Amino acid sequence: MHLHVLGICGTFMGGLAAIAQAAGHRVTGCDADVYPPMSDQLAALGIDLTEGYEAAQLDGDAGRADLFVVGNAVRRGMPLIEAILDRGLPYTSGPEWLRDHVLAGRFVLAVAGTHGKTTTTAMLAWILEHAGLAPGFLIGGVPLDFGVSARHSESAFFVIEADEYDTAFFDKRSKFVHYRPRTAILNNLEFDHADIFPDLAAIETQFHHLVRTIPASGRIVVNAEEASLARVLARGCWSSVERFAGTEIAIDGTLPAPDWRIGADGRVAHAGAPQGVLRWPADAPLGGRHNRLNALAAIAAARHAGVPVDASLAALATFRGVRRRMEVRGTAGGVTVYDDFAHHPTAIATTIAGLRRSVGAQRIVAVLEPRSNTMKLGTMNALLPGSLAEADHVFCYARGLGWDAAAVLASLRYRCAVLDDLDALVEAIASFVRSGDHVLVMSNGAFGGIHAKLLARLAAPPH
């Protein structure tokens, strides 16, 4: 079958394209504003890519496709989708195609939540790989241990990052309702995606719809610290449930007690019985409580797939992390530059806190691009200054925002600078930092290649 994938450079759709090609389908695609790592991954696979969404591509090879697979970045009014609709050409959404052609008949393990989905999915896939189960997977990032974001395999197991964002312009349900998991991790849940959800209750409804798809023989691994997830399960649950939490948190007496616990020292317990100790590779950027909880969720989910806890701990002791999650992009002039995907205030605060634990009193310079749809709307503005408070200095790139970043961040006073020109931003950061500093760049996009530009500027001889 010839598939033409619209929005092919999105992480999900690009992973789908890779899986489809490996499964024997011919794949072409189109997208706009292409950037690595997905563009590099598609090029390495030899998948032909057309720039843009013009209807003229139907006059060429794309017009001979058997099916058009439509990503959720595609909107009505784009010439290509209007031509597909006018001509009555066959189309489907990415999640639907994946469900029907890849996930059907497999033991699907899905990872949902506002934060940590990509890292937890990568951990879970690596645990199953280490256990010899050779799972297929589709992850919203590139795990360093695999080198690709998606893989087709003949294994009975498939691990997928389960996103709550909507499916397509013609299907406004969350993508994850299509996956029919046997094991589901509900990692956390707070308000996000303000462009499509009016409030947290609306997202909880989508999570409830996911719960409705899990069989009685399935299992839900849920964060016991989250009242929002307790509300989701209170609306109805037909599967077995295991809850997890950190030992330093006292669970509200109105919430069910956790089955799994992990301490600040990495000690894991299940039903009160010690299970072993979580240890990371010495060079992996995986510190912080959030990653301990991510790991605990992955361990619990893998156990439902038949992987013993000690085997999961052994796998995680070799897990190297995911690109763009506290990834060191380089050091120049004694300054270390990191790349991180954080864009929600909670993730920003957690990321900075994790780096702080690693570098101690050394200066952290946070560089933020508020690029996500939610951040561009200004919905999280009240939380933004607090999320950046632990950084020693903040630079904010304000180009394209519909709100006044300088006013929003005014409470940070002299510790913050707001610029709307990328070259000026690079120059300002380079002029400010000194040897021993840590520059943490946070964006859910390519940020104009700022990492390479900043490292080049820092390596250049003084003026």
**CATH assignment of the domain containing 227:** 3.40.1190.10
The closest of 22, 27, 80 to 53, measured between CA atoms, is 80
Tell me: do 8 and 124 sit in the same domain: no
Tell me: do 296 and 149 sit in the same domain: yes
Q: CA-CA distance, 284 to 144, in Å (whole number)?
A: 10
CB 425 within 8 A of CB 449: no
Asked whether residue 227 is domain-assigned, the answer is yes
Sign of CA dihedral 425, 429, 430, 431: positive
Residue 63 DSSP class: G
Q: CA-CA distance, 176 to 165, in Å (whole number)?
A: 8
Contacts by 40-48, CB closer than 8 A, 24 or more apart: 41/14, 41/142, 41/148, 41/149, 42/8, 42/9, 42/14, 42/17, 42/18, 45/17, 45/18, 45/21, 47/8, 47/17, 47/18, 47/21
Q: CA-CA distance, 83 to 59, in Å (whole number)?
A: 11
Asked whether residue 242 is domain-assigned, the answer is yes
Tell me: do 67 and 187 sit in the same domain: no
The pLDDT score that the predictor gives to residue 322 is 85
Residue finishing a domain among 34, 64, 93: 93
Tell me: do 331 and 311 sit in the same domain: no
Tell me: do 308 and 348 sit in the same domain: no
CA distances to 12, 374, 407, 447 from 43, rounded to whole Å, are 16, 31, 42, 21
Asked whether residue 276 is domain-assigned, the answer is yes
Range of the domain at 420: 327-459
Tell me: do 275 and 406 sit in the same domain: no
17 contacts: CB under 8 Å, gap ≥ 6: 3, 5, 8, 27, 29, 42, 45, 47
Q: CA-CA distance, 320 to 122, in Å (whole number)?
A: 10
Tell me: do 72 and 161 sit in the same domain: no
The pLDDT score that the predictor gives to residue 38 is 67
Tell me: do 331 and 307 sit in the same domain: no
Task: Find tokens 């001889």 and name the residue.
Answer: 461
The closest of 355, 418, 432 to 390, measured between CA atoms, is 355
Residue finishing a domain among 316, 344, 376: 316
Tell me: do 109 and 236 sit in the same domain: yes
Q: What is the pLDDT along the chain (463 residues), one digit of tens a residue?
A: 999 999 998 889 999 999 999 999 999 999 987 666 667 778 888 898 888 999 999 999 999 999 999 999 999 999 999 999 999 999 999 999 999 999 999 999 999 998 889 999 999 999 999 999 999 999 988 898 998 889 999 999 999 999 998 999 999 999 999 999 999 999 999 887 777 788 899 999 999 999 999 999 999 999 999 999 999 999 999 999 999 999 877 766 666 789 999 998 999 999 999 999 999 988 776 778 889 999 999 999 999 999 999 999 999 999 988 877 778 888 998 999 999 888 788 888 888 988 888 888 999 999 999 877 777 777 778 888 888 989 999 999 988 787 888 888 888 888 898 888 999 999 999 999 999 999 999 998 778 889 989 998 998 876 5
Asked whether residue 222 is domain-assigned, the answer is yes
Q: Mapping DSSP to helix (H, G, I), strand (E, B) and coil, where does residue 214 land?
A: coil
The closest of 309, 280, 316, 265 to 123, measured between CA atoms, is 316
Q: What angle do CA 293, 295, 298 make, to 5 degrees?
A: 110
Asked whether residue 100 is domain-assigned, the answer is no
Tell me: do 183 and 284 sit in the same domain: yes
Beta-bridge mates of residue 262: 246, 268
- Residue 373: Cβ within 10 Å count: 15
Q: Mapping DSSP to helix (H, G, I), strand (E, B) and coil, where does residue 245 land?
A: strand
Asked whether residue 98 is domain-assigned, the answer is no
Find how far residue 445's CA is from the centre of its chain: 12
Asked whether residue 321 is domain-assigned, the answer is no
Q: CA-CA distance, 126 to 348, in Å (whole number)?
A: 26
CA distances to 93, 142, 259, 369, 380 from 341, rounded to whole Å, are 25, 12, 31, 10, 17
CATH number of the domain at 347, please: 3.90.190.20
211 contacts: CB under 8 Å, gap ≥ 6: 184, 220, 232, 233, 235, 236, 237, 238, 239
312 contacts: CB under 8 Å, gap ≥ 6: 127, 131, 298, 299, 302, 303
Asked whether residue 301 is domain-assigned, the answer is yes
Burial 318-345 (b: 16+ CB within 10 A, else e): ebbbbbbbbbebbebeebbbbbbbbbbb
Residue finishing a domain among 59, 93, 127: 93
The pLDDT score that the predictor gives to residue 410 is 84
The pLDDT score that the predictor gives to residue 459 is 87
What six digits make up the tokens of 138? 């589709």
Burial class, 211, CB count within 10 angstroms (exposed 0-12 / middle 13-18 / buried 19+): buried
The pLDDT score that the predictor gives to residue 97 is 97
The closest of 80, 90, 100, 73 to 11, measured between CA atoms, is 73
Q: CA-CA distance, 455 to 79, in Å (whole number)?
A: 40
Tell me: do 182 and 302 sit in the same domain: yes
> What angle separates helix 345-359 from helix 289-304, to the nearest 10 degrees?
110
- Residue 149: Cβ within 10 Å count: 27
> How many domains does the chain contain in total?
3
The pLDDT score that the predictor gives to residue 5 is 96
Tell me: do 272 and 192 sit in the same domain: yes
Task: Find tokens 């560089």 and name the residue.
Answer: 367
pTM: 0.83
The pLDDT score that the predictor gives to residue 463 is 59
